[in-house]
Amino acid sequence: MLLIALIVLGVLVLGLTAMIIVDMVKNHKKGQKYHLREVMTAFLLLLPAAVLSFFFVILPIFYSLGYAFTDFNLLKPNDINFVGFDNFKNLFLEFNQHGEFFLSIRNTAIFVVLVVPIQIIMALLLALFCNNKRRGTTIFKVCFFAPVAISLSVTAFLWLIILSPNPNGIMNSILHNFGIPAQDFLGNKNTVLIWMVIISAWQGCGYQMLIFLSALGNIRKDLYEAASIDGANVFQRFFTITVPGLKPTMLYILITVFIGACRVLIQPMLLTGYQDRSVTISYYMYQQGFTYRHVGYSCAVALLMTIIIGTITLVQRKLLGEKKK
């Protein structure tokens, strides 16, 4: 296995070198020349990232692909047997029996359907609000982006305090002023997913806001001026100028938010624990691999979901991508 890893690493380095050489040849044909020092500097700057990517991204992917077809258990690391598609058969069996795997897919699907549009709309509205030169706009940008910079563990702890079922909790104290009894927000199976969506959208929309702001800055201002002269109102300018100008950015944000939502793990783990109404696919994989020690089974789940998420992403790209002229 070590020999294979070294071979793959060598191929990666050679591929990186080949990419640099091809780029040099293309630029040489355009009349641009590179000095050897510039080339070596670029190579040395890219090499650490390539090596880290190999050990922490590419190599684990290869290992998980192999383990998905074995009965690898962390308690028996020296007793690994090839089992073919048995792990996948067990997955489909558990799905048909509405077991934990079925619940994780159901919860993840509900979470994705709710959080993706909410987070994108929140990010767009914040970007439109901050896309001006009013005094104090920078402060608003910092405040809106702050949740992104804070660790998920910290924000989860803060929300646990806010949504505490204790009558003295922040949210329950507010409800008490209106005569409403204390609520167990994260323990109620009817509201736990809703609060996970709210917390996740609040946590992540600041990052998408910055991307939208960058895209809004690239839309020509004279288009808005011409539309105003022609009598277009705010909504007409938004749907005829802003939305078409943001289409490539929206596609990128849609895909990244969708993938991130499918991989949600920290929120259910820290906020609710392993519950039927909040377990997600990533949490299910974690539970199988690190709690029950069934690494082979967990890798099978990861492989299956990678295929599903990749397929949906390609379909999104095909349906929403710009048509070639």
Question: Do 294 and 170 belong to one domain?
Answer: yes
- In angstroms, rounded to a whole number, what is the distance separating the alpha carbons of residues 282 and 269? 10
Picking from 280, 258, 265, 264, the residue whose alpha carbon sits closest to that of residue 102 is 280
Q: Phi first, then psi: what are they for 37, rounded to 5°? A: -65, -40
309: domain range? 87-320
Tokens of 311: 């397929």
CB 173 within 8 A of CB 284: no
Last residue of a domain, one of 58, 75, 100: 58
Picking from 204, 239, 216, the residue whose alpha carbon sits closest to that of residue 116 is 204
Is residue 199 included in any domain, yes or no?
Answer: yes
Query: Any bridge partners for residue 294, and if so which?
Result: 73
Is residue 69 included in any domain, yes or no?
Answer: no
Question: Do 152 and 275 belong to one domain?
Answer: yes
What pLDDT sits at residue 325? 42
Beta strands in 13-78 (DSSP E): none
Is residue 288 included in any domain, yes or no?
Answer: yes
Q: Phi first, then psi: what are they for 203, rounded to 5°? A: -70, -40
Question: Do 142 and 19 belong to one domain?
Answer: no
Name the region of 320 (left: φ>0; alpha: ψ -120 to 50; beta: rest): alpha
What pLDDT sits at residue 23? 65
DSSP 238: I
Is residue 134 included in any domain, yes or no?
Answer: yes
Picking from 163, 189, 202, the residue whose alpha carbon sits closest to that of residue 279 is 189
Question: Do 186 and 224 belong to one domain?
Answer: yes
Torsion sign (Cα): 113, 114, 119, 124: positive
Question: Do 174 and 309 belong to one domain?
Answer: yes
Question: Do 38 and 180 belong to one domain?
Answer: no
DSSP 276: T
Question: Do 187 and 149 belong to one domain?
Answer: yes
Q: How many residues does the chain have?
A: 325
pTM: 0.83
pLDDT by 10s per residue, the chain, length 325: 555 556 666 666 666 666 666 666 666 656 666 566 766 777 777 778 777 877 888 888 888 888 999 999 988 888 889 999 999 999 999 889 888 999 999 999 999 999 999 999 999 999 999 987 777 788 888 889 999 988 888 888 889 889 888 888 889 899 888 888 888 888 888 888 999 999 999 999 999 999 999 999 888 888 888 988 888 888 899 999 999 999 889 988 999 999 999 989 888 888 888 888 889 999 999 999 999 999 999 999 999 988 888 888 888 878 776 554 4
Is residue 178 included in any domain, yes or no?
Answer: yes
- Number of helices (H), then strands (E), in the chain: 15, 0
Question: Do 111 and 199 belong to one domain?
Answer: yes
CATH of the domain at 213: 1.10.3720.10
Is residue 64 included in any domain, yes or no?
Answer: no
Tokens of 162: 């806010």
DSSP 56: I
Picking from 266, 271, 277, 269, the residue whose alpha carbon sits closest to that of residue 159 is 271
- In angstroms, rounded to a whole number, what is the distance separating the alpha carbons of residues 12 and 93? 39
What pLDDT sits at residue 324? 47
What pLDDT sits at residue 31? 60
| Domains held by the chain: number | 2
What is the CA angle 279-285-286, rounded to 5? 85
Question: Do 221 and 104 belong to one domain?
Answer: yes
Is residue 42 included in any domain, yes or no?
Answer: yes
